[in-house]
Amino acid sequence: MPTSQMIRTGSGPRVFSRLSKSPPSLLSKWSYNAPQRMIISHITHPPPLSSSLATTSLTLTQPTPQSLTPLPLPPIHRQTHTHTHTLTPPPYTPPKTGILSLLPPSWVPYGELIRIDKPAGTWYLFFPCLFSTLLAAPLSSPPSPPLAVLSTAFLFLGGALIMRGAGCSINDLWDRDLDAFVSRTRHRPLARGALTPLAATAYTGAQLLAGLGVLLQFPLPCLFYGVPSLVLVATYPLAKRVTYYPQFVLGLTFSWGAVMGFPALGVDLLSHAPALAAAGLLYASNVAWTVLYDMVYAHMDIRDDAKAGIKSIALKHGADTKKVLAGLAVVQVGLLAGAGVAAGAGPAFFVGSCGGAALTLGWMIKRVDLKSVKDCWWWFINGCWITGGVISLGLGADYIVRYVQDEKHNESESETRSIEGKDSENGTVR
């Protein structure tokens, strides 16, 4: 319809009826200005028409802006949809299964603080102790018997359980404000307010005293080797705030047991050069292993860490993680082999421990889906048994082979001395 047109009608209301049937584009030009919601007053409020105007001709022209009068409009009720990516975290629910469910309710926060329901960290702390014990056993003089090796390993296991709990407590005391911003840690007892910092500090002190009690069961030199590790335990949580490589500091802490097995079996590192070299290489190998598995672990929190300002190697090298993991695996196996060479290990160690570690680490690096929290968690908790297990089996097999060989050698020497003694007596008689 043109912008100006003669509309003939017999009554006033039919003018608006005809107008309402106009095309929408024309109606919007004449009666509605969408951004300002303004309506032409002379159309919405027409003057009264007399019957003499039954055949009146009206000329409708496009109105000017001055002819537009704003009118109050009733509120418009529209259904709006708000899209947000922020999900309300589920509330904390007390554990109903597992070891925590067996504890009295007042004890549950303390059990959660030391991660008693998640023993993977304890095993990762224990394995370096076991490695060094098995590697040091043939180097002691005389070689340590199996019973001594087993009792030493069990003491280390108890110490690992206690000190891992103490380390978790110290970590949560430092991170209680940061944990609230990470979905996986927001329900930790300090982050949710189930424990006060004072109660957690007192509990940590009790754990450290218990750890000292275990340490005193070892030979005295172990005390001097073990106490300095507490500095690393206390400083690791701070590393997450200042460097993208806190996993390296964690490696220095968790790998300390790779040194402890030698003095525990009476091997003096300061006077035994091969043992010192073996301990140093084994320690460095375990540092690389710790960085490797904790890099996989860090991928579970990579988004929350970025939001909370927590630094990690996963954030720094996220795009090249598998390349970094492969490099760490090569370093770990290479240093492990060097430790075996220094300690005089045999084929069982190099095939079982070094070869087994290379295969299992390669398998993990190829299979792990770093974008899946569930997959990263599976490889973290099972990787300690897979890789740590094959290294331990290789070391154990090498220890048994060398121990049996040494026993046979001692028996042979004993028989030789016995024969020589009899010959000497017979010669004396003659």
Q: Output the tens digit of pLDDT for each of the chain's 430 residues.
A: 444 444 444 444 444 344 444 444 444 444 444 444 444 444 445 555 444 444 444 444 555 555 555 555 455 444 444 444 445 667 888 899 999 999 999 999 999 999 999 999 999 999 999 999 999 999 998 899 999 999 999 999 999 999 999 999 999 999 888 888 888 888 999 999 999 999 999 999 999 999 999 999 999 999 999 998 888 888 888 887 888 888 899 999 999 999 999 999 999 999 999 999 999 999 999 999 999 998 998 888 777 767 767 777 878 877 788 999 999 999 999 999 999 999 999 999 999 999 999 999 999 999 999 999 899 999 999 999 999 999 999 999 999 999 999 888 777 767 677 676 666 666 654 4
Contact 313, 298 (CB under 8 A): yes
CB neighbours of residue 77 within 10 Å: 5
Containing H/E element for 68? Answer: strand 68-70
CA distances from 290 to 42, 43, 47 (A): 82, 81, 88
- Beta bridge mates, 5: 60
| pLDDT reported for residue 180 | 84
pTM of the model: 0.74
Q: Transcribe 373-429 into DSSP letters.
A: HHHHHHHHHHHHHHHHHHHHHHHHHHHHHHHHHHHHHHHHHHHHHHHHHHHHHHHHH
**Biggest distance spanned by C-alpha atoms of the chain:** 168
Q: Check residue 12 and give its pLDDT.
A: 45
pLDDT at 425 (0 to 100)? 64
Rg of the chain (C-alpha set): 39
User: In the prediction, which pLDDT does 100 show?
Assistant: 94
In CATH terms, 99-406 corresponds, of 3.30.365.10, 3.40.630.30, 1.10.357.140, 1.10.10.10, to: 1.10.357.140
pLDDT reported for residue 243: 83
CB 329 within 8 A of CB 386: no
Q: How far apart are CA 75 and CA 51, in angstroms?
A: 37
Q: Where are the domains of the chain?
A: 5-61, 99-406
- How many CB atoms are located within 10 Å of the residue 174 CB? 18
d(C-alpha 367, C-alpha 230), whole Å: 35
Distance between CA atoms of residues 288 and 420, nearest Å: 53
| 167: Cβ contacts below 8 Å, ≥ 6 apart | 121, 125, 233, 236, 253
Query: What pLDDT shows up at residue 46?
Result: 52
Strands 5-8 and 38-40: unpaired
